[in-house]
Structure 1
Amino acid sequence: MLRILPALLLVLLTGCQVDPYTHAPARGATDWYQAGFEDATAGAQKKNDETLAANFNDKKVDRQAYLRGYASGQEKICQPDLLYAWGLAGKIFPTGCDDVDTAPQLRQQWQKGMDEGVSASRLN
């Protein structure tokens, strides 16, 4: 009986092993709108189709959806108050905001925040 117990324990433990490949999430279609939105809100430049295809391992880039998402992200991030806060925090000016009509005013707000942030850090 004592010889069977270790063998039985080994069989039971082996049955509980999880195959790491069976629980991998299935990749669906790339959400190009969301990809564009995330690029814009991260402050990144628009990416070309070759870069997008390589980054997402998806050769079927929906450029129009990506650009719509990017424009939506720009609307969210390219706001004077938000860019002022980015400047206060010492973050760089988002490249995507250079493309909007109000870029000079946005850069001015960001610079104001940057200057005040640097001034405040000197006082501490």
Structure 2
Amino acid sequence: MRSMLPALMVLLLSGCQINPYTFQPNWTSPSWFDAGKEDAMNGLPVKDNQLLADNFNDPHVDRSEYLRGYADGQKRVCEEGFLHAWGLAGKSFPASCDATANAAKLHESWQKGMDESMSASRLN
């Protein structure tokens, strides 16, 4: 019984060890440019300041940086070939492309991809 006591103590104490590879949280303010870009690339509509402040737990929203990032994300997503691929994948038309100048043409390209996807799924 005495020989088991040290082994049990070592086992219990090793369970309380702190993992040296745990990461410290980063408490810097968010990158509003990246937040806007990510929203646009995920097909989300522009968020208002209150929603952004709530989502990122930061009341100091840099609206101009958010909108600049959103416009950059729109440039990447709102292209005919890209939206055709979204339609082929069965994804819904992104709200971030609704306000673009060529929204009707983009919607047609997306719809064509969606129609091709539906006809292909019926054949399989």
TM-score interval for Structure 1 and Structure 2 normalised by the shorter chain: 0.7 to 0.9
Letter in 2 for 1:27: W
Q: How far does residue 63 in structure 1 lie from its aligned partner after superposition?
A: 0.3
Partner residue of 2:89?
89
Letter in 1 for 2:6: L
Q: How far does residue 25 in structure 1 lie from its aligned partner after superposition?
A: 1.6
Distance 2:57 2:79 in 1: 32
Partner residue of 1:9?
10
Distance 1:6 1:116, change over 3 A: closer
Calculate the TM-score normalised by the size of structure 1: 0.87
Calculate the TM-score normalised by the size of structure 2: 0.87
Distance 2:8 2:93 in 1: 64
| Structure 2 residues without counterparts, runs of 5 or longer | none
Percent of pairs identical after alignment?
49
Q: Deviations over 1:47-90 (max 9, x none)?
A: 00000000000000000000000000000000000000111111
Partner residue of 2:38?
38
Determine if the alignment matches structure 1 residue 101 to structure 2 residue 101. Answer: yes
Q: How far does residue 9 in structure 1 lie from its aligned partner after superposition?
A: 2.2
Q: How far does residue 18 in structure 1 lie from its aligned partner after superposition?
A: 2.0
25-34 vs 77-86, which deviates more?
25-34
Distance 1:50 1:94 in 2: 22
Distance 1:3 1:102 in 2: 76
Distance 1:23 1:111, change over 3 A: closer
Distance 1:114 1:7 in 2: 63
Distance 1:3 1:65, change over 3 A: same
- Give the aligned length: 122
Q: Spell out structure 1 runs of 4+ moving beyond 3 A.
A: 1-4
Letter in 2 for 1:78: C
Letter in 2 for 1:9: V
